[in-house]
Structure 1
Amino acid sequence: MNAPVDALVAGLLAGYGVAIPFGAISVLVVALTARTSFRVGAGAGLGVAVADGLYAGVAVVGGTALAAVIKPAAGPLRLLAVAILLLLATRTVVQAIRQHRGRAAPARDGQGLNTPGRAFGAVLALTLLNPTTILYFGALILGRQASAPFTPTDAGIFVAAVLAASASWQLVVAGSGSLLGRLLASPRGRLGTALVSSALIVLLALRLLLAD
């Protein structure tokens, strides 16, 4: 697989891996759509996608700057990155199982977010406050840059693919309608999306582990 295609595939997997779990933010996006309009829900969903893209960009820029420094420790750093990704995948499943058993925290209802701009800004801020996202992209890029660094072009493709994957999923969530929204927000729906997300993260870890 050539480098640009590899960057595209890695970005799509990373974007869907971080976006698919149906947590409180996803419930908020569905609730906003149901209470207001698709435009408001889409604004909220794009806020999530932009936050994911920003975190991916920060991780790529930081990893590129450190590429020469971390190259001598490529092996151990790649194993560390794989371990972090596997821990995040495990954490996603464990949290989903706890929610499935009825211990989920109540989701915010988004009162006052009645325009696309307000919804975008508020949900962007909420998503940026999640430290797991930067840990996820940081581990992924750290391991990649230690062994097979992205070129500037490949880095741009990766970030664009993350943004596109996250945005496409969030728009599906926003446009899901009340029936699909209730299904995805149910305990079984959350468990299913968490398992899919964890599988994608494990696949990313394996790709990183087996990278040349």
Structure 2
Amino acid sequence: MSELMAPAVSGAVAGLGVAVPMGAMSVLLLQEAMRHRGAAVAAAAGIAVVDLGYAALATVLGPRLASHVGPVEAWVRLASALILLVIAARGLHSARGPRLPQVTAPPARSPAPAAPAAPAAASPAVGSGAAGPGRAFGRFVALTAVNPTTALYFAALTTAQGGGLRSGPTGAAFLAGVALASLLWQQFLVVLGSFAGARVSPTVRLWTFRLGHGLVAAYALKIAFPLPRT
């Protein structure tokens, strides 16, 4: 069991690295939670499913690629680390200015004039107009899947450490860490959106960007060393 702890922790860090920066998807999730918590829970699961899917695909292909580049494995690790550093640098650079998507509360409805009581069957259901859990899940799966950065992130990461993910149990532990970390973070955003919503300050969101992309940069440095010998 102890030999599976390292890949599980590694997967958790990888999952947090891609999930923590509060970009456009996080803003959409917060807004969904402010409108309908049940749909937001399903939407959060959809984001985590896509993260797991990309990680699983990369975990299958990464070790196979790494097994064919044994003589230049150190250079492959270095190239993957550089890709991750570029992703981290772009994310950190975007956190410097006030260009992050804003969280806006749903507009307050003006009070309607009093009307005669209608039969119970004719009254609209509470929360009508909000997307149901199934539709929210599908919508967030589609929106997350079209982001190429997530796929590139996991491809670079798993190729760099492909040798360590070749065994089935090790790869499964890595994927479990990715899925659990991503799901827990997205569900935390649902809770945050339900209770805090629009009160999430720009400063807090900037620090999530710095934290998440800082994790990516740290991961890149971890897999880059030891440097290839010339």
Q: Which residue type is aligned with residue 155 of structure 1?
A: G
Deviates more, 1:62-71 or 1:78-87: 62-71
What residue number does 1:94 align with? 93
Which of 128, 132, 135 is residue 118 of structure 1 equivalent to?
135
Larger Rg: 2
How far residue 203 of structure 1 moved from its aligned partner, in angstroms, is 2.0
Aligned to 2:122: none
Structure 1 partner of 2:181 = 165
Matched with 1:194 is 209
Q: Counterpart in 2 of 1:76? A: 75
* Structure 1 moving runs of 4+ over 6 Å: 106-109
Equivalent of 2:224 in 189, 209, 212: 209
- The separation in 2 between residues aligned to 1:95 and 1:178, in whole angstroms, is 27
Query: Structure 1 residues 161, 182: CA separation in 2 closer, same or farther (over 3 Å shift)?
Result: same
Secondary structure at 1:22 match in 2: coil
Q: Provide the rounded CA distance (Å) in 2 between the counterparts of 1:165 and 1:9.
A: 9
CA distance in 2 between partners of 1:76 and 1:65 (Å): 16
Contact 2:59 2:165 in 1 (8 A): no
9-18 or 57-66, which moves further after superposition? 57-66
Closer, same or farther: CA 134–59 of 1 in aligned 2, 3 Å: same
Shift of 1:80: 0.6
Q: How big is the shift at 1:183?
A: 4.3
* Residue 130 (1) aligns with residue 129 (2): no
Identity of aligned residues (%): 36
TM-score (norm 1): 0.87
Q: In the TM superposition, what whole-angstrom CA distance separates every residue of 1:123-181 from its partner, at most 9, and x where no partner exists?
A: 01100000000110011011111x54431111111111101100000000011145533
- Report the Cα distance in structure 2 between the residues aligned to 1:61 and 1:108, rounded to whole angstroms: 40
Letter in 1 for 2:52: G
- Cα distance in 1, alignment partners of residues 181 and 68 from structure 2: 31
Deviates more, 1:200-209 or 1:68-77: 200-209
Match of 2:191 in 1: 175
Residue-by-residue CA offset, 1:50-94 (whole Å, 9 max, x unaligned): 000000001001112223212221011011111111111111111
**Which residue, out of 150, 153, 156, partners 2:169?**
153
Asked if the contact 1:183/1:189 (under 8 Å) is kept, the reply is no
Q: Does the CA contact (< 8 Å) of 1:22 and 1:189 recur in 2?
A: no
How far is 1:204 from its partner? 1.2
Partners of 2:225 and 2:134 in 1: CA distance: 43
Distance in 2 between residues matched to 1:108 and 1:68, nearest whole Å: 48
CA distance in 1, matches of 2:179, 2:211: 19
Does the Cα contact within 8 Å between 2:17 and 2:213 map onto a contact in 1?
Answer: yes
- SS of the equivalent of 2:29 reads helix
**Structure having the larger proportion of residues in helix:** 1
Tell me how large the CA RMSD over aligned residues is. 2.5
- Which amino acid is 1:33 matched to? A
Contact persistence 2:50–2:145 (CA under 8 A): yes
- Aligned residues between the structures: 205
Give the match's secondary structure for 1:97. coil
CA deviation after TM superposition for structure 1 residue 6, in Å? 1.5
Letter in 2 for 1:21: P
Gaps of 5+ in 2: 106-128
* TM-score using structure 2 length: 0.81
* Alpha-carbon distance, 1:211 to partner: 6.9
Instruction: Please name the residue that 2:19 is paired with.
Output: 19
